[in-house]
Amino acid sequence: MILNYSLIVKRFDYQTNWMVMVNMRPDFERINDLLVEVFNDILVIEESELRKSRFNDLTITEMHTLEAIGMYRKKTTSEVAKELSITVGTLTTAVNRLVKKDYVERIRSEDDRRVVKLSLTKKGKLLYRVHQSFHRQMIEAILVDMEKDEAAALLKALGNLHHFLQEYK
Protein backbone atom coordinates (compact mmCIF):
# COMPACT_ATOMS: atom_id res chain seq x y z
CA MET A 1 0.00 0.00 0.00
CA ILE A 2 1.38 3.41 -0.96
CA LEU A 3 0.70 5.93 1.75
CA ASN A 4 -0.62 9.31 0.74
CA TYR A 5 1.58 11.45 2.95
CA SER A 6 -0.02 14.67 1.74
CA LEU A 7 -3.32 13.36 3.12
CA ILE A 8 -1.64 12.58 6.44
CA VAL A 9 -0.11 16.07 6.60
CA LYS A 10 -3.46 17.65 5.73
CA ARG A 11 -5.20 15.56 8.38
CA PHE A 12 -2.47 16.50 10.87
CA ASP A 13 -2.78 20.20 10.08
CA TYR A 14 -6.53 20.19 10.68
CA GLN A 15 -6.61 17.80 13.58
CA THR A 16 -3.39 18.47 15.47
CA ASN A 17 -5.10 18.90 18.81
CA TRP A 18 -7.08 15.69 18.36
CA MET A 19 -3.96 13.76 17.31
CA VAL A 20 -1.96 15.02 20.28
CA MET A 21 -4.79 14.01 22.59
CA VAL A 22 -4.98 10.51 21.03
CA ASN A 23 -1.19 10.08 21.09
CA MET A 24 -1.15 10.89 24.80
CA ARG A 25 -3.54 8.04 25.63
CA PRO A 26 -1.66 5.31 27.50
CA ASP A 27 -3.20 2.61 25.28
CA PHE A 28 -2.18 4.28 22.00
CA GLU A 29 1.09 2.34 21.55
CA ARG A 30 -0.49 -0.95 22.61
CA ILE A 31 -3.35 -0.53 20.12
CA ASN A 32 -0.86 0.34 17.37
CA ASP A 33 1.32 -2.66 18.19
CA LEU A 34 -1.66 -5.02 18.30
CA LEU A 35 -3.02 -3.80 14.96
CA VAL A 36 0.34 -4.38 13.28
CA GLU A 37 0.81 -7.78 14.95
CA VAL A 38 -2.73 -8.97 14.15
CA PHE A 39 -2.44 -7.90 10.50
CA ASN A 40 0.90 -9.69 10.13
CA ASP A 41 -0.27 -12.78 12.02
CA ILE A 42 -3.34 -13.17 9.82
CA LEU A 43 -1.24 -13.00 6.66
CA VAL A 44 1.38 -15.43 7.98
CA ILE A 45 -1.23 -17.92 9.23
CA GLU A 46 -3.28 -17.78 6.03
CA GLU A 47 -0.18 -18.33 3.93
CA SER A 48 1.08 -21.14 6.17
CA GLU A 49 -2.29 -22.91 6.14
CA LEU A 50 -2.48 -22.62 2.35
CA ARG A 51 0.97 -24.22 2.00
CA LYS A 52 -0.02 -27.11 4.28
CA SER A 53 -3.33 -27.73 2.54
CA ARG A 54 -4.32 -29.39 -0.71
CA PHE A 55 -4.49 -25.83 -2.10
CA ASN A 56 -0.73 -25.35 -1.76
CA ASP A 57 -0.43 -24.23 -5.38
CA LEU A 58 -1.91 -20.83 -4.45
CA THR A 59 -0.40 -17.69 -3.01
CA ILE A 60 -2.23 -15.61 -0.43
CA THR A 61 -2.71 -12.91 -3.09
CA GLU A 62 -4.42 -15.45 -5.35
CA MET A 63 -6.57 -16.54 -2.40
CA HIS A 64 -7.70 -12.96 -1.87
CA THR A 65 -8.44 -12.69 -5.60
CA LEU A 66 -10.74 -15.70 -5.26
CA GLU A 67 -12.36 -14.04 -2.27
CA ALA A 68 -13.00 -10.89 -4.32
CA ILE A 69 -14.51 -12.91 -7.17
CA GLY A 70 -16.82 -14.43 -4.60
CA MET A 71 -19.04 -17.42 -4.62
CA TYR A 72 -22.55 -16.16 -5.17
CA ARG A 73 -22.47 -13.79 -8.12
CA LYS A 74 -20.55 -13.77 -11.37
CA LYS A 75 -18.51 -10.58 -11.70
CA THR A 76 -16.74 -8.83 -14.55
CA THR A 77 -13.00 -8.31 -14.42
CA SER A 78 -13.62 -4.58 -13.99
CA GLU A 79 -15.75 -5.18 -10.89
CA VAL A 80 -13.17 -7.47 -9.31
CA ALA A 81 -10.25 -5.18 -10.21
CA LYS A 82 -12.04 -2.23 -8.64
CA GLU A 83 -12.74 -4.22 -5.46
CA LEU A 84 -9.05 -5.19 -5.22
CA SER A 85 -7.84 -1.69 -6.20
CA ILE A 86 -5.72 -3.07 -9.04
CA THR A 87 -5.74 -2.58 -12.80
CA VAL A 88 -7.74 -4.83 -15.10
CA GLY A 89 -4.44 -5.86 -16.72
CA THR A 90 -2.98 -6.99 -13.39
CA LEU A 91 -6.16 -8.90 -12.60
CA THR A 92 -6.18 -10.55 -16.04
CA THR A 93 -2.69 -11.95 -15.38
CA ALA A 94 -3.82 -13.30 -12.00
CA VAL A 95 -7.04 -14.75 -13.46
CA ASN A 96 -5.08 -16.49 -16.23
CA ARG A 97 -3.06 -18.30 -13.55
CA LEU A 98 -6.20 -19.15 -11.56
CA VAL A 99 -7.91 -20.52 -14.68
CA LYS A 100 -4.87 -22.75 -15.39
CA LYS A 101 -4.98 -23.98 -11.78
CA ASP A 102 -8.73 -24.70 -12.14
CA TYR A 103 -9.96 -22.28 -9.45
CA VAL A 104 -11.69 -19.79 -11.77
CA GLU A 105 -13.59 -19.98 -15.02
CA ARG A 106 -14.53 -17.32 -17.54
CA ILE A 107 -18.15 -17.35 -18.65
CA ARG A 108 -19.40 -15.44 -21.69
CA SER A 109 -22.68 -13.64 -21.30
CA GLU A 110 -25.59 -15.20 -23.17
CA ASP A 111 -26.98 -11.73 -23.91
CA ASP A 112 -23.75 -10.07 -25.02
CA ARG A 113 -20.91 -12.37 -26.10
CA ARG A 114 -18.40 -9.54 -25.60
CA VAL A 115 -19.04 -9.59 -21.85
CA VAL A 116 -17.02 -12.11 -19.86
CA LYS A 117 -17.77 -12.82 -16.22
CA LEU A 118 -15.64 -14.60 -13.65
CA SER A 119 -16.86 -17.46 -11.53
CA LEU A 120 -15.28 -19.90 -9.12
CA THR A 121 -15.00 -23.52 -10.17
CA LYS A 122 -15.95 -26.35 -7.82
CA LYS A 123 -12.36 -26.35 -6.53
CA GLY A 124 -12.45 -22.57 -6.11
CA LYS A 125 -15.74 -22.73 -4.22
CA LEU A 126 -14.36 -25.37 -1.87
CA LEU A 127 -11.35 -23.20 -1.06
CA TYR A 128 -13.61 -20.17 -0.65
CA ARG A 129 -15.67 -22.04 1.96
CA VAL A 130 -12.53 -23.21 3.79
CA HIS A 131 -11.20 -19.64 3.86
CA GLN A 132 -14.54 -18.26 5.10
CA SER A 133 -14.50 -20.89 7.86
CA PHE A 134 -11.13 -19.54 9.04
CA HIS A 135 -12.60 -16.03 9.10
CA ARG A 136 -15.62 -17.24 11.10
CA GLN A 137 -13.30 -18.92 13.62
CA MET A 138 -11.38 -15.65 14.03
CA ILE A 139 -14.59 -13.70 14.67
CA GLU A 140 -15.83 -16.30 17.15
CA ALA A 141 -12.47 -16.10 18.98
CA ILE A 142 -12.75 -12.31 19.12
CA LEU A 143 -16.31 -12.33 20.45
CA VAL A 144 -15.92 -15.10 23.04
CA ASP A 145 -16.82 -13.81 26.53
CA MET A 146 -17.55 -10.36 25.11
CA GLU A 147 -20.59 -8.44 26.32
CA LYS A 148 -22.92 -6.79 23.78
CA ASP A 149 -21.66 -3.30 24.64
CA GLU A 150 -18.05 -4.44 24.21
CA ALA A 151 -18.89 -5.98 20.83
CA ALA A 152 -20.63 -2.73 19.86
CA ALA A 153 -17.51 -0.75 20.85
CA LEU A 154 -15.33 -3.10 18.79
CA LEU A 155 -17.67 -2.73 15.83
CA LYS A 156 -17.54 1.07 16.17
CA ALA A 157 -13.72 1.04 16.34
CA LEU A 158 -13.42 -1.23 13.30
CA GLY A 159 -15.88 0.99 11.42
CA ASN A 160 -13.73 4.01 12.24
CA LEU A 161 -10.63 2.18 11.01
CA HIS A 162 -12.40 1.09 7.83
CA HIS A 163 -13.54 4.66 7.14
CA PHE A 164 -9.99 5.95 7.68
CA LEU A 165 -8.53 3.34 5.30
CA GLN A 166 -11.12 4.11 2.61
CA GLU A 167 -9.61 7.58 2.31
CA TYR A 168 -6.42 5.96 0.94
CA LYS A 169 -8.15 4.07 -1.86
Domains and CATH numbers, the chain: 5-166 (1.10.10.10)
The pairs formed by 50-54 with CB atoms below 8 angstroms and a separation of 24 or more are 53/130
| Residue 77, helix vs strand vs coil | helix
How high is the mean pLDDT in each 10-residue block of the chain (169 residues)?
A: 51 52 71 92 90 93 95 93 93 97 93 89 95 93 95 94 86
Exposure string for 78-113, b = 16+ CB within 10 A, e = fewer? ebbbbebebeeeebeebbeebeeeebbbeeeeeeee
Strands (E), the chain: 75-76, 104-108, 116-120
| Residue 2, helix vs strand vs coil | coil
pLDDT at 135: 92
Is the alpha carbon torsion for 27, 29, 33, 38 positive or negative? positive
Output the CA–CA distances (angstroms, integers) from residue 57 to 13, 60, 89, 120, in the order listed.
47, 10, 22, 16
pTM: predicted TM-score of the whole model, two decimal places: 0.76
